[in-house]
C-alpha cells in the first residue's frame, strides 16, 4: 500500500459545475474558427443554404400547382389534368435533384464537422502535460476517449441534422407565411348575419397551434437533457470497466477474480440500464404530447378553413392550396416539437464536449491560490534544488539536504523509504507537479530525458519505437541490432519492420530493457530515471549498467529508486524524506470560469 501511495499521490475529488449554454457554444465556435477545415465548412454551409432556398422556391411552385390541378379534377377537365401532370413532373424532377444534392452536402458537413471537432480536441489534449493534469482534475478528466471519439461524432451528427433542419424550416416559413397570408386574406366568417374578416387568419391559427404544442413539448421533454447526459456518463463507466477487465485478464484468471469482475460489470450495466429506463419513460411522456398533436394535424388545417369553404367563398382547389400552405407553415413551426428529443440529446452532448474543451483550454491556467515551485535556468549547466518541498495532500516530499547541486557528468542515486514520494519528486522535476515551494534550477540549453518505471512504447514498427522522440537522426539497422544484442533482446532484431502493440507483446522487464536500448541509441546528456532499474535482477542490472557506462559515457544520470544498486556506478547518494508535519496541499477555491490543475477545486459559473 505504501508503494501505491508513493507511485501516485492521492488526489481529492473535485466538483465541476457545468458551464452555461453561451459559454459552450462560444467554445465550440472558437474551435471551429481556427480549424484547418473552416473554409470547407463555410463553403458547404453556403452551398446547402443555396440548395434549401432553391428547394423552398420549388415547394412554393408545387403549392401553387395544387389549385389548378384539383380544380381540373373538380371540372373533370382531362386536357388540363394531363397538362398539370407534366408541370408536376418538371417541379418534382427539380426537387429530386435538389434533395439529393442536399443529402450529399449534409453528409459532407457531418464529416468535416467531426474532423474539425476531433482534431481540435486531440490537439488541446496533447499539449505538454495537459493530459496528465486533466486526468487528475476529477470527473471532467474521466474517460476523455469517449468525449473525443463518441461524443464529438454524435455532436457533429446532431448539429448537422438540427442545424440544416432549422435552416430549412426557417426558409420555408418565410416563403409560405406570405403565401398563407395572401390566401387567408379573403376568408370571411358569416355568423348570424354578421360578416367577420380576420387578416392573415390561417397564419395566426398556425402560430397559435404550433406555439401551444412547442410549449407543452418543451415542458415535458426538458428533463431529457439531464437524463441523456447521465446516460453517456454511465455508458463511459461501463466501457472503461470492460477495457480494464480486458487489459487484466491474466491477473484476474490467476487470482480467480472472475466473480468480482463479473459483479463489477453487472453493477455498471445496471446503472446504464437504469439511466436508459428513465430516458424511455421521459420519451413516452413526450410521445403523448407530440403524437396527439400529430394526429390532430391531419385534420387541423381543413377544420380551420372549412367554415370559409362551406360558405362558398373559396373553391375546392383554393381549399387544398390553403391547406398545403398551412401544412408548410405549421411543419416549419413544428420543427421544435418534432426534434425536442434530439435537441435534448444535442444539449447534453454539447455540454460534455464543450465542458471538456473548456477544461482543456484552461487546465494550464495557474492561479495564486497555491504555492508553486519556481523553475530557473542555471548558466553553469548544473541541476540545483534550493529548499525544495513538493506538496501533496499527505504532506511534503523533500530532500534531506536543503541545497543540492548536481553537475554535468555526475551519477547520483536518490533513495527513499516506501511512501516517501519518490515518483512525486520525479514528476516535480519534470514539471508535471508544480505544487510546493523552493526552486529547481535546470541546466541551461540542455534537454532532460525522463524515464518512468515503464517506458512509453508507441504503436508502430520496432524501429519507430527505438527512434522515438528527442529529435535525433534515426539510428542505422546495424546500430539497433548491436544494441539489442547487448541488452539481451537480440530476438527482436528480426522484427524491426513489424507493426505491433509492443506494450502488450513484451513483458514489463523487456519493456524496461527496450527503454534502456533507446537511451543507448539516443545518447542524451541528462537522464533522470524513476524506479525503472529497481525491478532488474543481478545479471540484467549488470548488463544495463554496462550499457549505460558504454553508450552514455559522460552523461549525467540520476536514478530515483529504493536502494543503492552500485556504489561505483552511482558514487553519490541523496535521500528523499516525507515531512508529514508540513502544511499539506489543500483544495483551493479558484476564480469562477476557470479550471485549475489538481488538486485545486474546479468551478464553473452558471
Domain contains 412 = yes
Over residues 203-255, the pLDDT tens digits come to 777 777 777 877 887 788 778 878 887 887 888 788 878 877 887 777 777 77
Domain range for 141 is 16-185+315-364
Over residues 316-329, the pLDDT tens digits come to 777 777 777 777 77
Within 363-471, residue ranges assigned H as helices are 422-430, 462-466
Question: In this model, does residue 1 exceed pLDDT 60?
Answer: no
Q: Taking the CA of residue 571 as centre, how many other CA atoms within 13 Å lie in the half-sphere pointing to its CB?
A: 5
Confidence band (pLDDT; 50, 70, 90) for 487? confident
**Residue 439 in grid coordinates:** 526552486
- Is 499 in the same domain as 432? yes
- Do the Cβ atoms of 523 and 555 come closer than 8 Å? yes
Domain boundary among 266, 286, 311: 311
- Pairwise pLDDT comparison (487 vs 393), residue with the higher score: 487
Over residues 118-139, the pLDDT tens digits come to 888 888 887 777 777 776 665 6
pLDDT computed for residue 557 by the predictor: 92
- What does the H/E/C string look like for 437-467? EEEEEEECCCCEEEECCCCCCCCEEHHHHHC
Domain contains 275 = yes
End-to-end CA distance of the chain: 40
Task: Count how many domains the chain has.
Answer: 3
Q: What's the rounded mean pLDDT across residues 159-173?
A: 85
Domain boundary among 299, 329, 364: 364
Of 46, 68, 50, 47, give the one whose Cα is nearest residue 58: 50
pLDDT computed for residue 407 by the predictor: 93
**Residue 10 in grid coordinates:** 492521492
Helices (H) and strands (E) in the chain, counts: 20, 14
Question: In this model, does residue 89 exceed pLDDT 50?
Answer: yes
Q: What's the rounded mean pLDDT across residues 595-600?
A: 35
Confidence band (pLDDT; 50, 70, 90) for 97? very high
* CATH number for 234: 1.20.1560.10
- Say which residue the cell 522515438 belongs to: 468
Domain contains 88 = yes
- Is 462 in the same domain as 565? yes
Within 76-184, residue ranges assigned H as helices are 78-125, 130-135, 144-146, 152-184
Sign of the Cα pseudo-torsion (190, 191, 194, 199, in order): negative
**Residue 555 in grid coordinates:** 552523461
- Pairwise pLDDT comparison (537 vs 32), residue with the higher score: 32
Q: What's the rounded mean pLDDT across residues 470-489?
A: 80
pLDDT averaged over the chain? 78
- Radius of gyration for the alpha carbons in the chain, expressed in angstroms and rounded: 34
Domain contains 595 = no
- Pairwise pLDDT comparison (296 vs 471), residue with the higher score: 296
Alpha carbons 202 and 208: distance in angstroms, whole number:
10
- Is 177 in the same domain as 201? no
Domain contains 587 = no
Alpha carbons 593 and 597: distance in angstroms, whole number:
14
Instruction: Report which DSSP code applies to 43.
Output: H
- Do the Cβ atoms of 383 and 526 come closer than 8 Å? yes
- 460: phi then psi, degrees, rounded to nearest 5: 150, -165
- Pairwise pLDDT comparison (95 vs 192), residue with the higher score: 95
- Is 100 in the same domain as 236? no
Domain contains 8 = no
Domain contains 1 = no
- Pairwise pLDDT comparison (162 vs 15), residue with the higher score: 162
- Is 190 in the same domain as 180? no
Q: What's the rounded mean pLDDT across residues 106-111?
A: 88
* CATH number for 401: 3.40.50.300
Domain contains 447 = yes
- Percent of the chain clearing pLDDT 70 (strictly above): 82
Render 307-328 in DSSP notation, one character per residue: HHHHTTSS-HHHHHHHHHHHHH
Kindly provide the b/e burial profile for residues 145-159, where b requires at least 16 CB atoms within 10 angstroms of the residue's own CB: ebbbebbbbbbbbbb
Sign of the Cα pseudo-torsion (509, 510, 514, 516, in order): positive
- Is 293 in the same domain as 381? no
- Do the Cβ atoms of 138 and 16 come closer than 8 Å? yes
- Pairwise pLDDT comparison (21 vs 138), residue with the higher score: 21
Confidence band (pLDDT; 50, 70, 90) for 190? low
Question: In this model, does residue 440 exceed pLDDT 90?
Answer: yes
- Do the Cβ atoms of 59 and 172 come closer than 8 Å? yes
Of 382, 350, 321, give the one whose Cα is nearest residue 27: 350
- Percent of the chain clearing pLDDT 90 (strictly above): 8
- Is 223 in the same domain as 347? no
Confidence band (pLDDT; 50, 70, 90) for 378? very high
- Is 421 in the same domain as 508? yes
Angle between helices 477-487 and 538-551 (to 10 degrees): 150
Question: In this model, does residue 568 exceed pLDDT 90?
Answer: no
- Is 334 in the same domain as 297? no
- Return the top range by mean pLDDT from 85-89, 537-541, 542-546, 565-569: 85-89
Over residues 413-439, the pLDDT tens digits come to 998 888 888 888 998 898 888 888 899
pLDDT computed for residue 473 by the predictor: 66
Alpha carbons 424 and 426: distance in angstroms, whole number:
5
Domain boundary among 336, 364, 392: 364
**What is the pTM (predicted TM-score) of this model?**
0.59
- Is 425 in the same domain as 568? yes
Query: Of the ranges 123-127, 262-266, 302-306, 546-550, which one carries the lowest mean pLDDT score?
Result: 302-306
Over residues 250-296, the pLDDT tens digits come to 777 777 778 888 888 888 888 888 888 888 888 888 888 777 777 77
Alpha carbons 535 and 516: distance in angstroms, whole number:
13
Alpha carbons 598 and 135: distance in angstroms, whole number:
9
- Is 42 in the same domain as 70? yes
pLDDT computed for residue 15 by the predictor: 39
Alpha carbons 576 and 574: distance in angstroms, whole number:
7
pLDDT computed for residue 194 by the predictor: 67
- Return the top range by mean pLDDT from 280-289, 375-384, 389-398: 375-384
- Is 377 in the same domain as 357? no
Largest CA distance in the chain: 117
Amino acid at each position: 500500500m505504501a508503494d501505491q501511495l508513493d507511485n501516485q499521490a492521492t488526489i481529492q475529488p473535485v466538483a465541476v459545475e457545468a458551464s452555461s449554454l453561451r459559454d459552450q457554444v462560444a467554445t465550440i465556435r472558437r474551435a471551429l474558427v481556427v480549424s484547418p477545415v473552416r473554409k470547407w465548412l463555410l463553403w458547404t454551409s453556403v452551398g446547402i443554404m443555396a440548395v434549401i432556398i432553391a428547394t423552398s422556391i420549388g415547394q412554393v411552385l408545387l403549392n401553387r400547382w395544387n389549385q389548378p390541378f384539383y380544380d381540373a379534377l373538380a371540372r373533370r377537365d382531362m386536357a388540363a389534368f394531363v397538362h398539370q401532370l407534366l408541370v408536376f413532373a418538371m417541379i418534382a424532377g427539380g426537387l429530386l435533384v435538389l434533395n439529393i444534392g442536399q443529402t450529399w452536402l449534409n453528409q459532407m458537413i457531418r464529416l468535416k464537422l467531426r474532423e474539425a471537432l476531433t482534431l481540435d480536441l486531440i490537439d488541446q489534449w496533447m499539449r505538454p502535460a495537459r493530459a496528465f493534469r486533466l486526468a487528475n482534475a476529477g470527473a471532467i478528466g474521466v474517460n476523455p476517449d469517449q468525449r473525443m471519439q463518441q461524443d464529438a461524432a454524435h455532436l457533429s451528427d446532431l448539429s448537422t441534422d438540427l442545424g440544416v433542419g432549422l435552416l430549412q424550416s426557417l426558409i420555408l416559413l418565410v416563403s409560405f407565411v406570405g403565401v398563407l397570408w395572401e390566401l387567408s386574406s379573403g376568408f370571411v366568417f358569416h355568423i348570424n348575419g354578421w360578416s367577420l374578416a380576420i387578416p392573415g387568419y390561417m397564419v395566426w391559427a398556425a402560430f397559435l397551434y404550433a406555439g401551444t404544442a412547442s410549449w407543452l413539448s418543451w415542458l415535458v421533454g426538458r428533463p431529457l437533457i439531464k437524463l441523456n447526459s447521465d446516460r453517456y456518463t454511465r455508458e463511459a463507466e461501463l466501457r472503461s470497466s470492460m477495457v480494464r477487465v480486458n487489459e487484466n485478464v491474466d491477473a484476474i484468471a490467476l487470482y480467480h477474480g472472475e466473480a468480482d469482475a463479473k459483479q463489477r460489470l453487472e453493477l455498471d450495466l445496471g446503472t446504464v440500464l437504469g439511466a436508459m429506463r428513465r430516458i424511455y419513460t421521459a420519451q413516452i411522456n413526450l410521445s403523448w404530447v407530440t403524437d396527439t398533436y400529430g394526429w390532430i394535424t391531419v385534420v387541423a388545417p381543413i377544420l380551420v378553413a372549412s367554415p370559409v369553404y362551406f360558405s362558398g367563398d373559396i373553391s375546392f382547389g383554393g381549399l387544398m392550396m390553403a391547406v398545403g400552405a398551412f401544412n408548410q407553415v405549421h411543419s416549419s413551426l413544428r420543427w421544435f416539437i418534432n426534434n425536442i428529443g434530439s435537441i435534448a440529446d444535442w444539449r447534453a452532448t454539447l455540454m460534455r464536449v464543450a465542458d471538456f474543451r473548456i477544461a482543456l483550454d484552461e487546465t494550464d491556467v495557474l492561479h495564486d491560490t497555491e504555492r508553486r515551485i519556481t523553475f530557473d535556468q542555471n548558466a553553469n549547466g548544473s541541476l540545483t534544488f534550493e529548499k525544495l518541498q513538493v506538496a501533496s495532500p499527505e504532506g511534503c516530499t523533500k530532500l534531506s539536504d536543503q541545497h543540492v547541486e548536481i553537475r554535468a557528468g555526475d551519477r547520483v542515486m536518490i533513495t527513499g523509504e516506501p511512501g516517501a514520494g519518490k515518483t512525486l519528486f520525479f514528476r516535480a522535476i519534470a514539471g508535471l507537479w508544480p505544487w510546493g515551494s523552493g526552486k529547481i534550477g535546470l541546466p541551461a540549453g540542455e534537454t532532460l530525458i525522463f524515464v518512468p518505471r515503464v517506458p512509453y512504447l508507441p504503436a508502430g514498427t520496432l524501429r519507430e519505437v527505438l527512434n522515438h522522440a528527442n529529435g535525433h537522426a534515426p539510428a542505422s539497422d546495424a546500430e539497433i541490432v548491436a544494441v539489442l544484442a547487448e541488452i539481451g533482446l537480440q530476438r527482436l532484431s528480426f522484427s524491426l519492420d513489424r507493426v505491433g502493440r509492443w506494450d502488450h507483446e513484451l513483458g514489463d522487464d523487456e519493456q524496461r530493457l527496450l527503454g534502456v536500448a533507446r537511451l543507448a541509441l539516443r545518447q542524451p546528456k541528462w537522464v533522470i530515471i524513476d524506479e525503472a532499474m529497481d525491478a532488474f535482477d543481478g545479471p540484467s542490472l549488470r548488463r544495463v549498467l554496462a550499457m549505460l557506462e558504454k553508450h552514455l559515457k559522460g552523461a549525467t544520470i540520476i536514478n530515483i529508486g529504493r536502494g543503492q544498486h552500485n556504489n561505483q556506478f552511482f558514487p553519490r547518494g541523496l535521500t528523499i524524506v516525507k515531512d508529514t508535519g508540513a502544511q499539506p496541499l489543500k483544495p483551493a477555491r479558484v476564480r469562477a470560469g476557470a479550471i485549475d490543475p489538481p488538486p485545486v477545486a474546479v468551478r464553473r459559473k452558471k
